[in-house]
Amino acid sequence: MAFYETIFITRQELGDKEIDKTIKSFKDILKKNNANLVDTESWGLRNLAYKIEKNKKGHYVVLKIDGNGPAIHELERNMRIDENIIRYLSLKTDSINTKPSILAKKAQEA
């Protein structure tokens, strides 16, 4: 198994409940593909550096995953289908760091 970090940006209009629901659905998708959602992190509502699909702001969510390539591929396929997700980025990481990152800390302060 390898560790991954998938960061996605949702549209501004989405509420916390809807975001939780999408995270849960992704968790199920991962489970079906023998992958585990270890941790999630929220960077809150942030201004985008440039407009994406006419959006100026977006909610940032990080998924920390212990899984495999096909699971990530399936996850990304579902993210492309979901119209509320405007951008995603998956990265392979050496380890999973459960400590909040700089941006998560900033979101908590605000």
Partner 1 sequence: MRKNKNKSEDNDSSASKPFFRRKKTCPFSGPEAIEINFRDTGTLNKFISERGKIIPARISAVSAPKQRKLAQAIKRARILALMPYLS
Q: Which residues bind partner 1 (CB under 8 A)?
A: 7, 9, 46, 48-50, 52, 58, 60, 87, 89, 91, 101-103
Q: Is 80 helix (H, G, I), strand (E, B) or coil?
A: helix
In angstroms, give the least distance from the CB of 54 to partner 1: 13
In angstroms, give the least distance from the CB of 32 to partner 1: 27
- How many angstroms separate the CA atoms of 31 and 95, rounded? 20
**Run of H or E residues at 65:** strand 55-67
Nearer to partner 1, 1 or 91 (CB): 91
**82: its two tokens:** 């979901």
Which residues, in sequence order, are bridge partners of residue 40? 63
Question: What length does the chain have?
Answer: 110
In angstroms, give the least distance from the CB of 34 to partner 1: 27
Nearer to partner 1, 6 or 22 (CB): 6
